[in-house]
Amino acid sequence: MRLAIIILFLGIVMHAELAAQEAYELTSATRLELDINLDGKVDEEGWAKVPVLPLTMHWPTFEGVLTEETEIRIFYDDEYIYVGAICYDSDPSKIQEISFQRDAISEQSDAIALVLDPYDDNENVVVFSVTATGARGDFSLKNDAQGDALNISWNSYWDAKVTKTNNGWEAEMRIPFSSLRFQVQDGKVQMGVGAYRYIARKREMQVYPSIPPDWGFWSFAKPSMIQTTEFEQINNKRPWYTSPYLLGGIGHHHEYDENDNPEKMYDNDIQLGLDVQHAFSDNLNADFTINTDFAQVEADDQAVNLSRFSLFFPEKRRFFLERASTFDFKADGNNNLFYSRRIGINEGELVPMLGGVRLVGRFSDWDVGLINLQSRNKNDIAAENFGVLRLRRNVINNRSYVGGMLTTRYNADGDENYAYGLDGIINVTGEDFLKINLAQSVDSDDSSTLSAEDRSRVFVQWENRQARGLGYSVSYSSVGEAYKPGLGFERRFNFRQYNGELGYTWFLKEESRLRTANVSLEAETSVSNTTNKLETRSLELGGSLGWDRGNALRLEVEQEIDRVPEAFSLSDDVEILAREYNNTEISLSYDTAPVGLVLANFSAQFGDFYGGDLINFTFAPELVASKYLQFEGFYQYSNIDFKDMGETFESHLARIKTTLSFNVMWSISTIAQVNTVNELSVLNFRLRYNPVDGNDFYLVYNEVFNNDPDAFQPNLPLSENRAILIKYVHTFRL
């Protein structure tokens, strides 16, 4: 089976010329030497020399008549790309100004944006947006904007200003070439360029170039569809961004002896550290870090795990985010050979880092990534070294690649782990893609009797990525019993899985408020590698409706047979025994239109759950009180009645986030979370002052409470741990 897969993969690669796609039409960006006062007023005479981009309606009606006039101009000089936007509005009083907060990306705010594919690789873009309040947002999209593509935690160095006028609003943006990574050939640079204006109250998206909404939500910023544009004679100065930081904190935590008696330990900490970022060439960037601070200034959203598999949490730390897609070695779901949260975090506990380096770049058709970080000893956690090497290159066409990855992890106790693999995505024809991942691990704990297959992972998928019309996907996945990627993420082990998905999406007539309708069918079968017997079989039928304002309704019915190989616990009182279960679940969800000042998401699931009767309900409202104050809530209630066991699992998970923004520099955010499964509540408070990119002052308060400390013997402390931190970072551009 594996030999056949490899032969097929190599055969497709060898037919490169036969499958090559036509090149996109090239245009040239406007180069001017203008004295621009970045004040948000597009009033300098030089702007008139820059042509206006031809915008097309993307939403709500593709190529419909634009309801408001927009002028977006782009030019560049030696150091910067400039964007000037005049956003006319027939009723300026209704322009939606939602928040001053940085990176508050939503469909509730009027905004303009520049979309750049700096390497013109048709796979990755970075987006620089500014709202009508002047709030900047920058984020990246990977995997040609398909699937889990968004990374909102990515940040860069750039500037933007806006002004309100009697006719609407205006914006100016200035993006340094030193904040981008690109490749120079014969004195020229080719980048993918796109732009858009979003009018929130009308949910109107105006885009350049003209892109149909055929690939899902992010179609308007799809890397392979934006315009390849040529830049000449860029004089990139490539500065050193040197960011020393000072961190001081006080607090406490508790340690427990063999009889579970808590002992309060006081924490007092002052530390200095340094982060340095420098582009050694236009296409190679390096991040150096000494005494790294990987502490989160914002808490992770808690979750209730109603499965027998691990939960996945996204990466938020800036050090790992630039061109993070270079390090993607993904199979199905979130399974990945490299999961950066394995570094600096051990079972939810922060591990102090001595420092390290991260290199990311592109040479000709090759993407290159290197990470090496060293941790310190912490209590019973030995010092470790973490290494990642990633190579990828384009083949066949500009939407296909093959590559390889090596990860290493070893500690002071002599434990070693290595994982390595080959992968590729081939754009076979149109929107059809073949994806292959072959990986293997070697661990110092491996038994000598293990076979190569026991330590291997295989994933093969053929998928069609277009949302309009017929879509499909078939895949095969196999994970060995002893496959252990020390820096990776895997939900489950020791199984073979066959998956098939089939769906059809209709785009309805323009005059209809109902715009899309979808039906889908997914079937999945998993077999144990050890016994070759069925482990899981599921069949899911779903349908959804989407309206012109963005509200959506979805209904799913799933029938599953799950032969649980090992017992697992939902709580201290409820254990799911190892046997066969028949689960039937009905799911219903509804998302309100994301364009008003109040919106909400609802979902409900009910049915059979491992011998119990399941009711699960989720409600997530958002309220914009003003551009200064916003609220975001979340509540999940789960109840599973196990009548045969005489037990009931009941959980409440509640979260409320409050954001108070005085202007684009000062903000306060709070997160309060209550989880009745682990009987903990978490409170996070963060004051941030951000006068310019790279200069930040934080005042952070975190506390974890035991919900019912008297319910245990010996009694638990009310406050499990507390930390009050002050951090200041100042970036010097040398």
Pairing label, strands 184-185, 366-375: unpaired
Give residue 707's pLDDT. 92
The pTM (predicted TM-score) of the whole model is 0.86
Give residue 9's pLDDT. 43
Would you say 544 and 505 are in contact if contact means Cβ atoms under 8 Å apart? no
Task: Measure the CA–CA gap between 77 and 604, rounded to whole angstroms.
Answer: 54
3-state secondary structure of 388: strand
The mean per-residue pLDDT over the stretch 367-395 comes to: 92
Q: 255-271 pLDDT, tens per residue?
A: 888 888 888 989 888 88
HEC sequence for 600-638: EEEEEEEEEECCEEEEEEEEEEEEECCCCEEEEEEEEEE
3-state secondary structure of 672: strand
Give residue 24's pLDDT. 30
Write down the mean pLDDT value for the chain: 89
- Whether 6 shows a pLDDT value over 80: the answer reads no
- Whether 573 shows a pLDDT value over 90: the answer reads no
> In order of start, what are the domains of the chain with their CATH numbers?
32-232 (2.60.40.1190)
Q: 145-195 pLDDT, tens per residue?
A: 888 888 887 888 899 999 999 999 999 999 999 888 888 888 889 999 999
Q: 444-503 pLDDT, tens per residue?
A: 989 888 888 999 999 999 999 888 899 999 999 999 999 999 999 998 899 999 999 999
- Whether 15 shows a pLDDT value over 60: the answer reads no
Would you say 151 and 317 are in contact if contact means Cβ atoms under 8 Å apart? no
Cα–Cα distances in angstroms (integers) from residue 566 to residues 310, 577, 613, in the given order: 15, 7, 21
Give residue 161's pLDDT. 96
Indicate the burial class of 237 (C-beta count within 10 angstroms; 0-12, 13-18, 19 or more). exposed
Between 364 and 557, whose confidence is greater? 557
Would you say 133 and 97 are in contact if contact means Cβ atoms under 8 Å apart? yes
Please provide the size of the chain in residues.
Answer: 734
Q: Binning pLDDT at 50, 70 and 90, where does residue 17 land? A: very low
Of 630, 599, 497, 610, the closest CA to residue 562 belongs to 610
The pLDDT > 90 percentage for the chain reads: 63
Give residue 12's pLDDT. 41
Q: Which helix (H) or strand (E) holds 583?
A: strand 580-591
Structure tokens at 11: 């055969």
Structure tokens at 361: 């770049």
Give residue 294's pLDDT. 73
